[in-house]
Amino acid sequence: MWTALGRRLHAEQGLPVVLPWGSATERQRSERLAAAIPHAIVAPHTRIKDAAALMGHAAAVIGVDTGLTHLANALNVPLVALYTDTDPAQTGVVESPRAMNLGNVAQCPTVDNVWHALRAVQGEWNDA
């Protein structure tokens, strides 16, 4: 899903995809994704304040159930938060016109689901 979504972001919005990581395993995953997504960037290892600054300038954030996703929400960046192993009613971001939770335990959102949610949160952001 991540590769197809990244390619769609680049093709339809011209957006670079920035892939953060925290561990060596995550870095390897980010590098594999970046190799498959045009103009994708593997972010350098960053401190939380640097990650916040990077996300604060993002056109949008698509993330999973991590602290960075909740941080993006606190920064009011248009956000789609994805859940497949946890219930967003328990751990999801606070939803708003700029933030939406998708998925649930054993329910993986499709690329189209994520794309439509992204357009919705970006539309609200652009109209604000």
Q: Is residue 127 over pLDDT 90?
A: no
pLDDT classification of 15: cutoffs 50, 70, 90: confident
49 pLDDT band, cuts 50/70/90, is very high
Q: Is residue 2 part of a domain?
A: yes
Residue 79 domain-assigned (yes or no): yes
pLDDT level of residue 53 (50, 70, 90 thresholds):
very high
43 vs 125, higher pLDDT: 43
Q: Which amino acid is at 104?
A: N
Domain count, the chain: 2
Pair (120, 64) in one structural domain: yes
* pLDDT score at 126: 52
Q: Is the pLDDT at 38 greater than 90, yes or no?
A: yes
Asked if 35 and 74 sit in the same domain, the reply is no
- Taking alpha carbons only, the member of 66, 68, 25 closest to residue 46 is 68
Q: Do the domain assignments include residue 52?
A: no
Assess contact for 46 and 54: CB atoms under 8 A. Answer: yes
- 111 located within any domain: yes
Strand partners, 42: 19
Give yes or no: residues 31 and 78 share one domain: no
For residues 103 and 67, state if they share a domain. Answer: yes
pLDDT at position 128, please?
44
Give all strands (DSSP E) within the chain, no chain letters.
18-19, 41-42, 61-64, 79-83, 99-103
Which residue type sits at 121?
A: V
pTM for the whole structure: 0.91
Mean local confidence (pLDDT), 90-95: 97
pLDDT > 90: what percent of the chain? 92
Place of tokens 């980010």: 30
Secondary structure percentages of the chain, helix, strand, coil, to 5: 50, 15, 35
Instruction: Determine the structural domain holding residue 38 and report its residue range.
Output: 1-45
- Residue 87 belongs to some domain of the structure: yes
Average pLDDT over residues 33-53: 95
